[in-house]
Amino acid sequence: MTTPILEIRNLHARIEDREILKGVNLIIPPGEVHAVMGRNGSGKSTLSYVLAGKEDYEITEGEVLLDGENLLEMEPAERAAAGLFLAFQYPIEIPGVATMTFLKAAMNAQRKARGEGELSTPDFMRAVKTAGTDLHIDTDMLKRPLNVGFSGGEKKRAEVLQMALLQPKMCILDETDSGLDIDALQVVSKGVNALRNAGRSMLVITHYQRLLNHIIPDVVHVFSDGKIVESGDKSLALQLEAKGYADFDNAAA
Amino acid sequence: MAFSVPVRLGAAENTLIEQLNSAGAAATAERISVAGLPTRRVESYHYTDLKTLLRSVPPLADQNDTLDAFLKSGATPFHVEGAHQITIANGAVAYDDNAPAGVIVGKAEGNALSTRDDVLVHLNTALAKESLTLTIENTIEQVIQIDRRIEGEAAHVLDSAKIFVADNASVTILETLSSSDAAHVGNHATYLAVGRNTVVTHIVIDLSPRAATQFSTSEYTIADGAKLRTVTIHAGAALSRSQIFARFTGEGAHGDFTGLNLVEDGQHNDITIDIRHGVANTTSQELYKQIARGRSKAVFQGKIVVERDAQKTDAKMMMQGLMLSNEAEILSKPELEIYADDVVCGHGSTCGELDEDSMFYLMSRGIPKAEAETMLVRGFIEEVLDPVENEALAEALHGVVDRWLLGKAG
């Protein structure tokens, strides 16, 4: 049997005294795109932060394997170098750090962690240019400080650009559709779809079905009160859209 | 009611009094013997209590000593590609016959600063024997570096420079303070007359080793239509204080007063500015960033005075502090004193740690913690260094900050 790219077993996490993840189980085989849908406050974003290693959460139970390796023992930077990528719902603005400088630092840090040599500047520029073209990102945007003054669409395109450059095996997209108009949604989705391949898996977190018309998932999970309460194919998303989340609340109880 | 109780004088004060008397500066000696060095009760020294902090003062440097030997003693600690360097070693101005066209270098007896009720100014005025004189006649592309160094055994060194930038000229002047590794006390003065319609950048950077104490005072008069940018950087010395006294004397002038106060374990560094808008229609922006780590103290005092006739003044001051340890202290005192009624003035002061969300974002992209911290600190100071246009100079300044970040400054 192939090793799943991501395997979450009975994951519990809390922030201070409040338990937010209450036993998440999820297996994502290579090449598959899974969607997690749920209400605001159901714990979807917490799941993405816990996977990426944000400090605020305490893991009380369970384990997570990334391509067979124990993810929870790794520092956030190690997780990234091991192939995990989180596209943020709200990418952070970092004044004084040029986007280009950041991209190069991130690529080289990951290469270094994997024992690969540094990218030469021409190779780096070429990679950025190639990846940027489809996302309508020009070099002027990349000279600006990271995410500072970027529009909603620019921020999300910049996230997908990072994903394209870092070539992760496991992409988590946290509410990537938030703050996007229809045109921007199409550009971003196209960018994401271009990165789909047999070795790379994705976890798409959203509370609207809309995004899933563009990034078509293999499996849809319904998230409620800190765990997955229902899984199905893409028709589950349509069913949710039509009926709302209420039907699944009992399942969670 | 006001009985004056004689102050108890410490070793530093006694040495200063001796030095002043031997230089024939009886009035200043008397002043110190009556009042002592300023304590926290003196408002402008509230956070930098010199009486406590300055424990001793070394002997005055012998300026007849071998200046040539000093000049040959080593490369400047801060080399900027293409800069023209003028050295003042242990207070003595080195002969310079190599200045670029449009730059006139000379020396004059005495000190450059105006009279002012400030102990560091009094000391410099009384004890600095000669001043470098520098006249900038037109647009000078080369960076002019004034290399103020203290060499040899521990010495009390007072030096001075008087700079005139002629109308319509432009120039970048870099002053570097450095010293041998001994318990020197430096007291450096600069008077800079910024002419009409000039564009002037004046940078003062302290790179002394930790054993040294460095004081510097820069005084500016700013004429009509001038654009002045000052950058003060502390990246050395256990105890330091840089004072800036600026006065707008001509309309339509603009000043950017900026600085970086970088302090680490055992350091106490102070930047104190006093910016006076003396005529109508002038603008200024003050931006100072302080970064403290280890057990250290960073002090910023910023005062903007808008005089009665200075209508339409627009002045905005900002201090931002970044604490990199729990034992660090960052003190900030902004003051506005406004006597005109049609002005726009503001000040702000913030202080915090590295932003956790920003750290997480960078780390989630594979950038290890230490590197992410460095990136954020660099980003924090970029607003101060970014406007420095000369590329070689900007690179050298970034180098200073990077060495500080790696714990290798001073």
Q: How many residues does chain B have?
A: 410
* Residues on chain A touching B360 (C-beta within 8 angstroms): 52-55, 76, 92
Same domain (yes/no): B322, B369: no
User: CATH number of the domain that A173 lies in?
Assistant: 3.40.50.300
pLDDT, average across residues B350-374: 96
Same domain (yes/no): B397, B314: no
Tell which of B337, B354, B371 closes a domain. B354
* Residues on chain A touching B378 (C-beta within 8 angstroms): 96-97
Interface predicted TM-score of the whole assembly (ipTM), two decimals: 0.96
Same domain (yes/no): B179, B87: yes
Report yes or no on B147 lying in a domain.
yes
CB of A75 within 8 Å of a chain B CB? The answer is yes
- B358, A94: Cβ pair inside 8 Å? yes
Please tell me the distance in Å from A94's CA to the nearest CA on chain B: 7
For A142-163, b where at least 16 C-beta lie within 10 A, e where not — what string?
beebbbeebeebbbbbbbbbbb
Tell which of B330, B354, B378 closes a domain. B354
CA pair distance B196, B183, nearest whole angstrom = 41
Same domain (yes/no): B305, B378: no
pLDDT, average across residues B30-43: 95
CA pair distance B111, B123, nearest whole angstrom = 10
Which tokens go with B14? 């006694």
Q: What is the pLDDT of residue B69?
A: 53
Q: What is the pLDDT of residues B271-323, one digit of tens each?
A: 999 999 999 999 999 999 999 999 999 999 999 999 999 999 999 999 999 99
pLDDT, average across residues A204-228: 93
pLDDT, average across residues B190-199: 98
Same domain (yes/no): B327, B376: no
Report yes or no on B401 lying in a domain.
yes
Same domain (yes/no): B335, B360: no
CB of A51 within 8 Å of a chain B CB? The answer is no
Report yes or no on B6 lying in a domain.
no
Minimal Cβ distance to A80: which of B364, B379, B382: B364
Q: What is the pLDDT of residues A17-68, one digit of tens each?
A: 999 999 999 999 999 999 999 988 899 999 999 999 999 999 999 999 999 9
DSSP three-state, residue B91: coil
Is the pLDDT at B73 greater than 70, yes or no?
no
Q: What is the pLDDT of residue A209?
A: 87
CB of A155 within 8 Å of a chain B CB? The answer is no
Is the pLDDT at A251 greater than 70, yes or no?
no
Chain A residue at shortest CA distance from B381: A96
Same domain (yes/no): B284, B315: yes
CA pair distance B130, B108, nearest whole angstrom = 6
DSSP three-state, residue B8: coil
Is the pLDDT at B82 greater than 80, yes or no?
yes
Same domain (yes/no): B208, B270: yes
In terms of residue numbers, what domain contains B365? 355-410
User: Which residues of B lie closer than 8 Å to A, measured between beta carbons?
Assistant: 355-358, 360-369, 371-372, 375-376, 378-383, 386
Q: What is the pLDDT of residues A147-162, one digit of tens each?
A: 999 999 999 999 999 9
Q: What is the pLDDT of residue B65?
A: 57
Report yes or no on B18 lying in a domain.
no
Q: Give the Cα-Cα-Cα angle B104, B110, B115 (nearest 5 degrees).
A: 110
Is the pLDDT at B193 greater than 50, yes or no?
yes
Same domain (yes/no): B91, B211: yes
What pTM did the predictor assign? 0.89
Higher pLDDT pick, B406 / A63 = A63
In terms of residue numbers, what domain contains A26? 6-252
Report yes or no on A112 lying in a domain.
yes
Report yes or no on B125 lying in a domain.
yes
Interface test with A, best of B361, B385, B401 (most A CBs within 10 A): B361
Is the pLDDT at B139 greater than 90, yes or no?
yes
Report yes or no on B42 lying in a domain.
no
Q: What is the pLDDT of residues B289-298, one digit of tens each?
A: 999 999 999 9
* Amino acid (1-letter code) at residue A97: V
- B366, A52: Cβ pair inside 8 Å? no
In this prediction, residue B353 has a pLDDT band, given cuts at 50, 70 and 90, of very high
DSSP B3: P
Same domain (yes/no): B343, B362: no
Same domain (yes/no): B339, B396: no
- B364, A52: Cβ pair inside 8 Å? yes
Same domain (yes/no): B367, B332: no
Q: What is the pLDDT of residues A84-117, one digit of tens each?
A: 999 999 999 999 999 999 999 999 999 999 999 9
- B361, A55: Cβ pair inside 8 Å? no
Structurally, how many domains does chain B consist of? 2
